[in-house]
């Protein structure tokens, strides 16, 4: 590159048209996945305290919402169940109940709005009495017994019609075992989205309130299975193992505080990469913009561009619907 003044970097920045031509990263509705909290009942829409604009929805309203998302062009939803207390147990057996909330929601969505991809959470925290992601023995979340339950849960989701199952609990060996059981039962086309690098993050607080596991968890944490936020090389090892075990795509979570991890995984592996802009990231943006301290649209778009620039192919975000509306406005 020539020196100044032959090169003036600002020449191409002067006009909107040249800025558009030179833009290295794009963000479209094709990149967005909308997480939805599903609850029992009919015509139920309950606000979530720390997530203004996001509600727990009964299945009928989930269907209605998903039809709107289809209109907006959003490719997929990620479902999270809010399980009634009475159905939570030590063995978490409600997780694979064929008539369970998730299984019913999946079936109805795939009948009523088949074009929209359905991604399901494979983890036990909505179903365990103590809010942990796995079965607990003597105060420790046990790995291999948990994986057996996860296999039944993933299979029940596939049977209900889930397009993509997403094990989110960081147990060892779960991807391989789930792949095995799906193949053995003829679900050869069901995708597995591995939450490969999920950190033991404090940014999940509002989500735990949303699904009602916050109280159950109490002062306990998930540090014996989720990753230490101080680690990065370990995330690469997690991704490598999940790919070997049969993941179709991997996820990094949370997103904005972990852009370095997204970039390193993207550089190292040839596998589609998703990032999850989690509930706490949403709450941060909502509270600062709600107070008028920051401009919402600009900050949200900048955050999502940053996540894509780091290397994410798609983003799970509670802003998906709003962003799709903003993008549609711009095109008109």
Nearer to ligand PBG, 5 or 139 (CB): 139
Site for ligand PBG in 212-231 (CB under 6 A): 222
Phi, psi of 41 (to 5 degrees): 110, -170
SS3 of residue 77 by DSSP: strand
CB of 40 to ligand PBG, least distance (A): 19
Determine the number of helices (DSSP H) and then strands (DSSP E) in the chain: 12, 12
Stretch that binds ligand PBG, among 107-115, 118-126, 155-163, 303-311 (CB under 6 A): 118-126
C-alpha span between 325 and 11 (Å, rounded): 32
121 binds ligand PBG (CB under 6 A): yes
Whole-number Å distance between alpha carbons of 285 and 74 = 21
Q: Are 200 and 229 in contact (CB under 8 A)?
A: yes
247 vs 179: CA distance, rounded Å:
8
**Residue 278 in contact with ligand PBG, rule: CB under 6 A:** yes
Smallest gap from residue 28 Cβ to ligand PBG (A): 22
Task: Rule CB under 6 A: say whether 208 interacts with ligand PBG.
Answer: yes
Nearest Cα neighbor of 249 from 213, 280, 223, 273 is 273
* CA distance linking residue 251 with residue 165, whole number of Å: 12
286 in active site: no
Active-site choice (253, 286, 308, 321): 253
**Cβ atoms within 10 Å of 4's Cβ, excluding its own:** 7
CB of 20 to ligand PBG, least distance (A): 32
Q: Is 204 among the residues that bind ligand PBG (CB under 6 A)?
A: yes
- Residue in 125, 163, 238, 245 binding ligand PBG, rule: CB under 6 A: 125
Which of these, 49, 198, 86, lies nearest to 133 by C-alpha position?
198
Q: Is 253 a catalytic residue?
A: yes
Beta strand 140-141 with 45-47: parallel, antiparallel or unpaired?
unpaired
Binding residue for ligand PBG (CB under 6 A) from 168, 190, 196, 303?
Answer: 168
133 binds ligand PBG (CB under 6 A): yes
Rounded distance, CA 249 to CA 270, Å?
A: 10
Q: CA 103, CA 229: separation in Å to the nearest integer?
A: 33
Determine the size of the site formed for ligand PBG (CB under 6 A).
Answer: 12
Q: Minimum CB separation from ligand PBG for residue 147, in Å? A: 14
What the block records as the tokens of 202 is: 């404090």
Of 279, 285, 311, 312, the one binding ligand PBG by CB under 6 A = 279
Closest to ligand PBG by CB, 105 vs 278, is 278
Q: Give the nearer residue to ligand PBG in terms of CB position, either 187 or 199.
A: 199
Of 242, 169, 176, 175, the C-alpha closest to 200 is 169
Q: What is the nearest approach in angstroms of ligand PBG to the Cβ of residue 5?
A: 49
Measured between alpha carbons, how far is 311 from 298 in angstroms, rounded to an integer?
A: 20
**Residue span binding ligand PBG (CB under 6 A) among the ranges 24-32, 94-102, 117-125, 260-268:** 117-125
Q: Which of 31, 94, 169, 245 is in the footprint of ligand PBG by CB under 6 A?
A: 169
Query: Quick one: 25 or 148, whose CB is closer to ligand PBG?
Result: 148
Catalytic (active-site) positions: 198, 253
Binding region for ligand PBG (CB under 6 A): 121, 123, 125, 133, 168-169, 204, 207-208, 222, 278-279
């Amino acid at each position: 590159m020539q020196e100044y003044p032959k090169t003036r970097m600002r020449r191409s920045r002067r006009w909107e048209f040249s800025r558009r031509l030179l833009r290295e990263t794009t963000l479209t509705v094709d990149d967005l996945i909308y997480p939805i909290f599903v609850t029992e009942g009919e015509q139920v829409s309950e606000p979530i305290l720390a997530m203004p604009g996001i509600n727990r929805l009964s299945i009928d309203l989930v269907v209605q919402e998903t039809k709107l998302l289809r209109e907006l062009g959003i490719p997929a939803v990620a479902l999270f169940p809010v399980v009634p207390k009475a159905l939570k147990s030590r063995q978490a057996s409600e997780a694979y109940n064929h008539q369970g909330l998730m299984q019913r929601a999946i079936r109805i969505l795939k009948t009523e709005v088949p074009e929209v991809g359905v991604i399901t959470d494979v983890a036990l925290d909505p179903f365990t009495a103590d809010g942990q992601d796995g079965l607990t023995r003597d105060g420790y979340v046990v790995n291999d017994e948990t994986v057996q339950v996860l296999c039944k849960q993933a299979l029940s989701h596939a049977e209900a019609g889930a397009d993509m199952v997403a094990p989110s609990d960081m147990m060892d060996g779960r991807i391989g075992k789930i792949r095995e059981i799906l193949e053995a039962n003829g679900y050869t086309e069901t995708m597995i989205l591995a939450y490969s690098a999920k950190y033991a993050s404090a940014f999940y607080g509002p989500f735990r309130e949303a699904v009602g596991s916050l109280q159950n968890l109490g002062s306990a944490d998930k540090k014996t299975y989720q990753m230490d936020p101080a680690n990065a090389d370990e995330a690469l090892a997690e991704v490598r193992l999940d790919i070997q075990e049969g993941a179709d795509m991997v996820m990094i979570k949370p997103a904005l505080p972990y852009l370095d991890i997204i970039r390193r995984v993207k550089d190292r592996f040839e596998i589609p990469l998703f990032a999850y802009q989690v509930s706490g990231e949403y709450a941060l943006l909502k509270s600062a913009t709600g107070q008028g301290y920051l401009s919402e649209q600009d900050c949200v778009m900048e955050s999502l561009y940053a996540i894509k620039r780091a290397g994410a192919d798609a983003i799970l975000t509670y802003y998906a619907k709003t962003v799709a509306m903003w993008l549609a406005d711009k095109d008109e």
